[in-house]
């Protein structure tokens, strides 16, 4: 869901950021000067942190396999890297690693109960985000699958009255008309202090990659063991690039 950028190198990439939601253009009369309305820019620096994994495969397996083992390994190693980078981009603390989207998001609503979520609190979270950030294709809800199941039951309970939770023909859940996405690296437990739900414009969060997924084959390193090594790595960083608050989180009391 995030805005993404891929660069050929991993040098520090400065991204300007500004919150201009409160400033409008002005009606201009003929021949008059235009009022200056400067923007206050901040800066977010995106690095390229390396996430890697290594696997050894025996020469015998490589010789005897009937499928394209190398291609299969590329897929599996890519999934390993994807899992760790998704976790970092979700909950990373920004200390020599990405500043995860949960860490970067402001608190929009704190629940009354440490162990429960109500329809009303979801509505409050929705309206805690500025209307300027509630439009567009990147505006979504995000939560763990366990929390998704909990909120789905809220929809059944509230069905007799106004229900902010709806579903399309594929079973996809919507809250106040905005699609809900599953992220298994978010908190699964509805417990004290946990950030359980995220809402807003995810284009305000940028993911920077340097060179995409890289695969290296090591023929010599493990030759005395009759093994072949495969390394997969990816250089990545992420942070909020908006000076405003396009994303808000629901935090348990």
> Tens-digit pLDDT profile for the chain (253 aa)?
999 999 999 999 998 877 777 788 888 888 888 888 888 788 889 999 999 999 998 888 887 776 678 888 889 999 999 999 999 999 999 999 999 999 999 999 999 999 999 999 999 999 999 998 999 899 999 999 999 999 998 866 655 566 788 889 998 999 999 999 999 999 999 999 999 999 999 999 999 999 989 999 999 999 999 999 999 999 999 999 987 899 999 999 9
Q: Please name the residue that has the structure tokens 């291609």.
A: 71
* Encoded tokens for 244: 């405003």
Task: Give residue 162's pLDDT.
Answer: 67
pLDDT tens for residues 179-225?
Answer: 999 999 999 999 999 999 999 999 999 999 999 899 999 999 999 99
Task: Give residue 107's pLDDT.
Answer: 98
| Of 179, 128, 119, 124, nearest in space to 150 by CA | 119
Per DSSP, the residues of 134-198 read: S-STTEEEEE-HHHHHHHHHHHHHGGGS--SEEE-TT--EEETTEEEEE-TTS--S--TT-EEEE
Task: Report CA 174 to chain centroid distance, whole Å.
Answer: 18
Tell me whether residue 37 is exposed, middle or buried, using C-beta atoms within 10 angstroms of its C-beta: 0 to 12, 13 to 18, 19 or more: exposed
Segment (H or E) for 88: helix 69-91
Task: Give residue 61's pLDDT.
Answer: 83
Q: How far apart are CA 100 and CA 97, in angstroms?
A: 9
- Nearest 5°: phi and psi at 120? -60, -35
pTM metric for this prediction: 0.86
Task: Report CA 129 to chain centroid distance, whole Å.
Answer: 17
Distances (CA, A) of 31 to 28, 34, 94, 238: 9, 9, 50, 46
Work out the angle at residue 212's Cα, subtended by the Cα atoms of residues 211 and 217, and round it to the nearest 5 degrees.
95
Q: How far apart are CA 82 and CA 63, in angstroms?
A: 28
| Of 90, 22, 92, 20, nearest in space to 249 by CA | 90
């Amino acid at each position: 869901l995030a805005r993404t950028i891929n660069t050929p190198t991993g040098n520090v990439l400065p991204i300007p950021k500004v919150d201009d939601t409160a400033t409008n253009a002005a009606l201009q009369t003929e021949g008059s000067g235009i009022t200056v309305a400067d923007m206050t820019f901040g800066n977010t620096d995106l690095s390229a942190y390396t996430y890697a994994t290594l696997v050894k495969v025996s020469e015998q397996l490589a010789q005897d396999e009937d499928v394209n083992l190398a291609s299969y390994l590329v897929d599996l190693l890519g999934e390993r890297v994807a899992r760790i980078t998704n976790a970092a981009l979700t909950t990373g603390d920004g200390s020599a690693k990405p500043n995860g989207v949960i860490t970067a998001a402001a608190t929009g609503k704190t629940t009354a109960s440490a162990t429960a979520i109500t329809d009303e609190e979801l509505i409050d979270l929705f309206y805690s985000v500025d209307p300027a950030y509630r439009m567009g294709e990147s505006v979504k809800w995000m939560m763990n699958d366990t929390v998704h199941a909990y909120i789905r039951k809220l929809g059944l309970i509230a069905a007799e009255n106004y229900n902010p939770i709806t579903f399309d023909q594929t079973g996809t859940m919507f809250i106040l008309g905005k699609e809900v996405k599953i992220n298994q690296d978010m908190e699964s437990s509805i417990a004290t202090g946990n950030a359980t739900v995220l809402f807003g414009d995810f284009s305000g969060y940028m993911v920077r990659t340097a060179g995409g997924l890289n695969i290296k084959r090591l023929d010599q390193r493990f030759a005395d063991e009759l093994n072949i090594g495969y390394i997969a790595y990816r250089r990545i960083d992420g942070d909020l690039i908006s000076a405003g608050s396009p994303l808000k989180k629901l935090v348990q009391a």
